[in-house]
Amino acid sequence: MKGKRKLKKSKDKDAQAVAESLIVSNNDAVPLTDYDYENDLRPEFSPYTEDCCYLLVGESCIRYTVPTHHLKKSPHLSSRAPERSFTSHRDYRTIEVPELDEDIGHTLVHFLYTDEYQTLKHPISSKAETKATEYRRSILVYQAASAYGLPLLLERAKERINEFDNAVSIFEALDIAKIVYEKLQDGDKEWFCGYIRRKLENAFDADDTLFAQDQFRGYVGEAPTFSRMLVKLLVEIYSDRLSRTRIKNGQGRTDGIEQPACNGELAEEISVPEGSDPEPEEVKLLECPEPELEEVNVVKYLESVP
């Protein structure tokens, strides 16, 4: 009997604690007299009374329910919503987005609701594989945010791309970049190109044979726009490395003219007889060999690509 009373009291305390946690303290409430009516952000109409749409994602048409007022964040999605033509409140309009990868459907819808970035838990237990999956998702979200005009989601995706950057190799990164690059809006390609260049530079620093490898050459020629971007970055990286090598070897530039690197050593000592002023003689400087630089003939490189 005593045990039952203790259990009942325990339940009552738990219920009371939950109830207290749901009650807003009077100290937290803003007095109406102090309310800033000039910057009043309260809506005039409740968004919870508006219609909903079904967002059909991917080829499998995975269905997500989204209130129409959330779609206003994306003019692209909002414009694809059909006019209201149903007769029952249970009939929802549908928006098909087969181009959206099913793996990030939840991420897009969650953002429309909350303005936050969230992915679903992946069943793979390996930490490395999970990070690689999150990297792939972040690239896909970046492309989706670009396509649907969601700048805040675009910034969220950038953060995740940088966070999981070390989880994939350069070839894994290029595999997914090749898929999304051609779909990016022009204004969003600049950041992405800069990111890919940094990724390539780091990989080239680790292995200077990277651009000569057959696996890398395979990326050139597949997707025209992506290929041009990749070759442009390749030329920029090589040009930058060659310039650094010249400077390191003392082969600097003056007014656009290359100056040979020399230490000013004389080829031979000149003896001057005592008591007389010698006639000026031509002083021969040691010929300094050109530093051996591994230059790249880009045209030849491109011709070698199948």
Look at residue 190 and tell me if it is in a domain.
Answer: yes
Which pLDDT does position 26 carry in this prediction? 47
In a domain, 102, yes or no: no
Residue of higher predicted confidence among 247 and 194: 194
- Concatenated DSSP letters for the chain? -HHHHHHHHHHHHHHHHHHHHHSPPTTTSPPGGG--GGG----SS-GGGS-EEEEEETTTTEEEEEEHHHHTT-HHHHHTSPPP--SSTTPPEEEEETTS-GGGHHHHHHHHHHS----PPPS---HHHHHHHHHHHHHHHHHHHHHHT-HHHHHHHHHHHHHTGGGS-HHHHHHHHHHHGGGS-HHHHHHHHHHHHHHHHHHHHH-TTGGGSHHHHTTTTTSHHHHHHHHHHHHHHHHHHHHHHHHHTT--EETTEE-------BSS-----TTSPPPP-PPPBPPPPPP------HHHHHHH--
Give the domain range for residue 179: 169-247
- Minimum mean pLDDT range among 37-46, 114-123, 182-191, 193-202: 37-46
Note the pLDDT tens digit of each residue in 273-293.
555 555 545 545 444 444 444
Give 165-176 pLDDT, tens digit per residue: 999 999 999 999
For the chain, how many structural domains are there in total? 1
Model confidence at 198: pLDDT above 90: yes
Confirm whether 179 is domain-assigned: yes
Q: What is the mean pLDDT of the chain?
A: 78
303 domain-assigned: no
The answer to whether residue 305 is domain-embedded is: no
The mean pLDDT of 4-18, rounded to a whole number, is 53
Q: What pTM does this model have? A: 0.69
Name the more confident of 169 and 22: 169
Give the per-residue pLDDT at 260: 42
| Residue 294 resides in a domain | no
pLDDT for the residue numbered 133: 95
In a domain, 162, yes or no: no
Report yes or no on 52 lying in a domain. Answer: no
